[in-house]
Amino acid sequence: MEKIMKKQKGQYKNNNKIQINKILNAAEKLFIEKGIKSTTMSDIANEAMIMRATLYKYFKNMNEVLWTLQHRKMQAIGMRIKQNEVRLSTYKKFELYLQILYDGFVESPNDYLFLDLFNEIYQKESTSKKNTPYKQMFKDGDFGSGDSILFLTKNFHDGSVKSELDPEQTAVSIVYGALGILSKFGKNISWMPIKYGFKAEVLIQNCFNLFLEGIKNDKQNNLH
């Protein structure tokens, strides 16, 4: 009996996860197509092909949908960083970070379109001292605002990057520059090959390589 109950509980949890992903995918599609302000909870329910009552079972309001999407995307980046961050030189950290962003774009260009749409709200809420949705959603140990910068600036001057570079200025420039590039190419992904003869992925990789060449300490031949 106990085994049956555990199995049923596991199935229920899995079904909930499937339903939540279905809702979030539908919401993201609509946010990108219509914009955040023009999307309603009814729109999301219709796109996900569920009843409004079912949608409200999982999300109390639009704010919860938005912040859950943002949290999911941030944790996906954070998880890959945590899996690979051990004993990396500063140069290799930047290389890893940009590779994670690039891989994410190849898998789902829409991720960066949503992050761009939500960015103004995210920055405002994550820097506020009040009990904002950011503080309610992002708990201790979660990968949140500023964590990419902390990862990239820790033990920055290890010889693998140019000594004259300012740690925080370099990290912020590359993080925001990379995200901006991904958003811009994501918006124009379909006509890039037609107009320029190159896929967006190729041009993104070229931009990221230029970033890396700009910080690399050639005198050290790059510490690994």
Q: What is the pLDDT of residues 113-129, one digit of tens each?
A: 898 888 888 888 888 77
Q: Calculate helix-pair angle for 62-84, 110-127, nearest 10 degrees.
A: 100
Give yes or no: residues 137 and 211 share one domain.
yes
Please count the structural domains in the chain. 2
Q: Which residues of the chain have pLDDT under 50?
A: 1-12, 222-224
Give yes or no: residues 39 and 1 share one domain.
yes
What single-letter DSSP state applies at residue 216?
B
Q: Where is the domain boundary, 59, 87, 103?
A: 59
CATH of the domain at 11: 1.10.10.60
Give yes or no: residues 15 and 116 share one domain.
no
Give yes or no: residues 143 and 193 share one domain.
yes
Other beta carbons within 10 angstroms of residue 29's beta carbon come to 16
Give yes or no: residues 44 and 79 share one domain.
no
What are the distances in angstroms from CA 175 to CA 51, 81, 170?
40, 14, 9
Write down the pLDDT at residue 173. Answer: 96
Write down the pLDDT at residue 221. Answer: 53
Q: Are 95 and 103 in contact (CB under 8 A)?
A: no
Give yes or no: residues 79 and 156 share one domain.
yes
Cβ contacts of 212 within 8 Å, gap of 6 or more: 91, 94, 95, 98
Burial class of residue 221 (count of CB atoms within 10 Å of its CB; 0-12, 13-18, 19+): exposed
Give yes or no: residues 53 and 120 share one domain.
no
Q: What are phi and psi of 216, to 5 degrees?
A: -65, 135
Give yes or no: residues 210 and 101 share one domain.
yes
Write down the pLDDT at residue 10. Answer: 46
What are the distances in angstroms from CA 224 to CA 74, 87, 116?
27, 9, 33
Write down the pLDDT at residue 3. Answer: 47
The closest of 101, 76, 84, 75 to 178, measured between CA atoms, is: 101
Domain span at residue 33 reads 1-59
CATH of the domain at 214: 1.10.357
Give yes or no: residues 81 and 29 share one domain.
no
Q: Are 100 and 80 in contact (CB under 8 A)?
A: yes
Give yes or no: residues 113 and 179 share one domain.
yes
Give yes or no: residues 46 and 141 share one domain.
no
Give yes or no: residues 139 and 193 share one domain.
yes
